[in-house]
């Protein structure tokens, strides 16, 4: 299957288990791997045969900067569901949500959740 990759989209949200996270907010980084047939788009040079990257970005922004969730897992699930609702050509999606600074002790670059969902 062909893929559109959208990497390191950065947003600011208020998700987390701790009240400070919900009050102060923090950065979230999202990577998407969108699976769809791009052959016809490549042959015809017709945007209607693909998915508009700007629209994908806007849906992602609405989810990450929208309704507060306790878990990063819930952000990923909600985003996958909204992408399937909005884009009929989408066959499958991998959603990676990275939380660069979760409030847990230790030295690490980030914590991330990655899910793969297919249209049913």
Cα distances from 59 to residues 18, 21, 93, 111, in angstroms, run 26, 22, 14, 22
- Kind of pairing between the strands at 92-99 and 26-36: antiparallel
83 within 8 A of 9, measured Cβ to Cβ = no
99 a catalytic residue: yes
Catalytic residue among 3, 40, 89, 99: 99
CA-based max dimension of the chain: 52
| C-alpha span between 15 and 120 (Å, rounded) | 28
CB 65 within 8 A of CB 97: no
Positions marked catalytic: 99
């Amino acid at each position: 299957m062909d893929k559109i990759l959208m990497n390191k989209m950065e947003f600011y949200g208020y998700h987390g288990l701790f009240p400070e996270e919900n009050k102060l907010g923090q950065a979230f980084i999202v990577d998407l791997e969108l699976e769809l047939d791009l052959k016809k788009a490549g042959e015809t040079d017709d945007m209607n045969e693909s998915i508009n990257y700007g629209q994908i970005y806007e849906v992602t922004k609405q989810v990450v900067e929208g309704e507060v969730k306790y878990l990063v897992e819930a952000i990923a699930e909600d985003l996958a569901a909204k992408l399937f609702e909005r884009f009929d050509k989408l066959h499958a999606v991998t959603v990676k949500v990275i939380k660069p600074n979760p409030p847990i002790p230790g030295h690490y670059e980030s914590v991330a959740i990655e899910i793969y969902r297919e249209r049913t």
